[in-house]
Amino acid sequence: MAERVEVSDVSKSYGKVHAVTNVSCVFREGETIALVGHNGAGKTTLIKLMLGLIRPTSGTVRVLGEDPSAGQFEARQRLGYLPENVSFNMALTGRETLAFYARLKRVPLDSIDALLERVGLGHAADRRVGTYSKGMRQRLGLAQALLGRPRVLLLDEPTTGLDPALRRSFYEIVAELRADGATVVLSSHALTELEGKADRVVIINRGAKIADGTIEELRSIANLPTRIRVRLSDAADSSVNDWIGRTGAWKRVNGHMLEIDAGPGEKISLLRSAASPDAPVTDLDVVPPTLDELYAHFLGAGEAGR
């Protein structure tokens, strides 16, 4: 797969503030990447570096084979950007707004109506943007970013302000872009929202990259325990205590439930013993670590390494 974005050992400082420190990453054709980090972690700075709006203090950035901060950045037309806070001229209609951006990008104006339909704004094309809801403005921002079928899309916290139905339709569009070979970078505060949506997750903390991989890879690196919870057949039965004594350090949740945090090495043997015919168990749940726990793990590991 072709490399679309290459960030090599990039740092960016604003005076004494080190917004990004020695970050390297490569984003390829057809990849959807989640750029995750807390407020002030450096996500927007990284996106601005990829857009060429700012230059790195050190290191290099290449987008579609070119330096995005060079004066003649021919690839700009193939780069789409949705800023964190979209702001439009409230007096223009949705269609006029897109026409304005299409002229700037030198994109044929006849693509505008199809784009407005695609983001669900066809019915409001001739209304002034001042009358749009926040979600409608966000979708107009997405339509603007999609002008000219860009090969790289940088979407800064794109689902802020969208209700669950709009989020779903937003991610449907992201899936179509991915199928069409676009490289999509989605920045977010929350890892949970992005499960199943991104091929890869890059976690940024205080300007440094602290994790990079698929969610499965990150789960396996983090090695977090899986919670196993069992319902006892007869909690009062003395055989229960014998069984607990034989099988592990189960904790009582209440009178008839036990749970244990099973490390990767003991998970199978604990499940076997809980499912065996002599176990006083009538039901069993396996709860893998949540994405919030995974995120917290990497943030904690990043802090410990400082």
Ligand X SMILES: Nc1ncnc2c1ncn2[C@@H]1O[C@H](COP(=O)(O)OP(=O)(O)OP(=O)(O)O)[C@@H](O)[C@H]1O
Query: In the beta sheet, which residues pair with residue 79?
Result: 152
Of 41, 201, 240, 262, which lies in the binding site for ligand X, with binding defined by CB under 6 A?
Answer: 41
37 binds ligand X (CB under 6 A): yes
Plot region of 52 (φ>0 → left; ψ -120 to 50 → alpha; else → beta):
left
Residue 133-172 contact track with ligand X, rule CB under 6 A, x = bound? ----------------------------------------
- When the beta carbons of 84 and 212 are compared against ligand X, the nearer one is 84
53 binds ligand X (CB under 6 A): no
Give the footprint of ligand X on residues 83-142 (CB under 6 A).
Answer: 84
45 binds ligand X (CB under 6 A): yes
Stretch that binds ligand X, among 21-29, 39-47, 98-106, 272-280 (CB under 6 A): 39-47
- When the beta carbons of 14 and 104 are compared against ligand X, the nearer one is 14
* 262 alpha carbon, distance to own chain's centre: 28
Q: How far is the CB of 155 from ligand X (least distance, A)?
A: 13
Give Rg (Cα) of the chain. Answer: 24
**157, 187 Cβ separation under 8 angstroms:** yes
43 binds ligand X (CB under 6 A): yes
19 binds ligand X (CB under 6 A): yes
Enumerate residues 6+ apart whose C-beta is below 8 A from 108. 102
Q: How far is CA 25 from CA 51, 67, 83, 154, 219, in A?
A: 15, 15, 21, 15, 20
40 binds ligand X (CB under 6 A): yes
200 binds ligand X (CB under 6 A): no
- Within 13 Å of residue 151, how many CA atoms lie on the same side as its CB? 16
Residue that is written with structure tokens 């579609």 in the block: 64
Of 1, 9, 14, 292, which lies in the binding site for ligand X, with binding defined by CB under 6 A?
Answer: 14
Stretch that binds ligand X, among 42-50, 142-150, 215-223, 277-285 (CB under 6 A): 42-50
16 binds ligand X (CB under 6 A): no
Residue that is written with structure tokens 């990447």 in the block: 33
**Which string of b and e fits 147-160 if b means at least 16 CB within 10 Å?**
bbebbbbbbbbbbe
Residue that is written with structure tokens 């709860």 in the block: 287
219 binds ligand X (CB under 6 A): no
Q: Token pair for residue 42?
A: 């450096």
Of 1, 2, 9, 17, which lies in the binding site for ligand X, with binding defined by CB under 6 A?
Answer: 17
Stretch that binds ligand X, among 32-40, 115-123, 146-154, 253-261 (CB under 6 A): 32-40
Spatial separation of the C-alpha atoms in residues 263 and 268, rounded to whole Å: 10
Stretch that binds ligand X, among 40-48, 90-98, 246-254, 266-274 (CB under 6 A): 40-48
Spatial separation of the C-alpha atoms in residues 77 and 145, rounded to whole Å: 10
**49, 61 Cβ separation under 8 angstroms:** yes
Count of chain residues binding ligand X (CB under 6 A): 13
Q: How far is the CB of 297 from ligand X (least distance, A)?
A: 19
25 binds ligand X (CB under 6 A): no
Binding site for ligand X (CB under 6 A): 14, 17, 19, 37, 39-45, 84, 189
